[in-house]
Amino acid sequence: MEIKEAQRRVDDWISQFEEGYWPPLVNLARLVEEVGELSRELNHRYGSKTKRSDEPARDLSLEMADVLFVLLALANEQGVDLDQALEQVLEKYRLRDGNRWTRKEG
């Protein structure tokens, strides 16, 4: 699925409810919460923080998708075309960091 399609599907989901999009700062708080949940899972897997015995395993891909959903909602609410923005950012990284690290052979 392309980003534009993902933004449309998120909009379709949110638009079916009277409440619609939440205000930007509420969505930012939601985004931070979701990133926190992703961080917690990664810390359990790769950091020094172990899970409690009563804490269930979480699906890392679903935690990432939660972050993406809220980011897409925030972009929609702000009128941001993430396809276009990502193209611009990739070009920025290509120009800025293209020769910063050692390239793989072949």
pTM (two decimals):
0.89
Percent with pLDDT over 70 in the chain: 100
- The answer, yes or no, to whether residue 75 has pLDDT greater than 90, is yes
Q: CB under 8 Å to 20, separation ≥6 — which residues?
A: 14
- Specify the range with the lowest mean pLDDT, choosing from 13-22, 53-62, 80-89: 53-62
**Dihedral Cα 87, 92, 95, 98, nearest 10 deg:** -80
pLDDT for 52-68, tens place per residue? 888 888 899 999 999 99
Domain spanning 3-97: which CATH class is it, in words?
A: mainly alpha
Helix or strand or coil: residue 88? helix
Question: Domain-by-domain residue ranges, the chain?
Answer: 3-97
pLDDT of residue 49: 82
DSSP state of 1: -
